[in-house]
Homo-oligomer: A and B are copies of this chain.
């Protein structure tokens, strides 16, 4: 409540358009914040405005209505994540590497912005119907892309042919989601980097080789994915 985004005092060189885009972003960010604290329905426009440090009415200057605002919250968060996942899928590596890459992306996102991830995890794809927010669309599209990947892996003989690819995809994201939920809900209280790394590895490993066949990580290295993709992810 004390200080509101005092960071980066805007240089006078900013154009009006820049400042407007900024405002929009500030409001969006505030919405994510409030949203993650109070959930979809607990999120009142008044709170968002207060959090963003702007007047009530201004929210309506930038967003048609509450639904559009929240839709944007989802879209902006999801967009980012979705893009990275798609990039992993597109690498064309062995499916194991790609799975590891996807898991990596998800956990990195959490490390960077736990709040945002929480919102996405706890609200995306939920809310049964209700005329509201079309989160399902974005959600489905990740699932479908991953399912495509598994189908391809089956053609290449990398995974058994009898598996239903869509189910593989949902399970992958289910494992990731719940792995993260452990943190989000405080079931796994240590949120230090090492814990997150370990959880990430375990999720990938278990998903790939099963509970019974899971192997311990070769060393204490926290960023284990095979050579070629390591940098791109870490740098972004």
Contact = CB atoms under 8 A, between A and B. Distances in A.
Interface of A: 36-42, 95-96, 99, 118, 122-123, 125-130, 136, 140, 143, 158-160, 162-164, 166-168, 170-171, 173-179, 181-182, 185, 187-188, 198-199, 202-203, 206-217
Contacts of A39: 126-130
A209 B209 CA distance: 6
A164 B214 contact: no
Count copies of this chain in the complex. 4
A167 to B, nearest CB: 5
A107 B136 CA distance: 23
Contacts of A99: 211
A36 to B, nearest CB: 7
Contact of A211 (B123, B136, B140, B159): B159
A178 B185 contact: no
Given A37-B129, A209-B213, A187 B170 contact: yes
A211 B130 contact: no
A210 B206 contact: yes
A171 B176 CA distance: 8
Nearest to A182: B170
Given A143-B187, A207-B210, A210-B210, A37 B178 contact: no
Among all A-B residue pairs, the 10 with the closest Cβ atoms? A174-B178, A210-B210, A209-B210, A174-B174, A170-B178, A41-B41, A162-B216, A170-B182, A42-B130, A39-B127
20 contacts: A37-B129, A38-B130, A122-B127, A143-B187, A159-B214, A160-B216, A162-B214, A164-B199, A171-B206, A173-B178, A174-B174, A174-B179, A174-B181, A206-B207, A207-B211, A209-B209, A209-B210, A210-B210, A210-B214, A213-B213
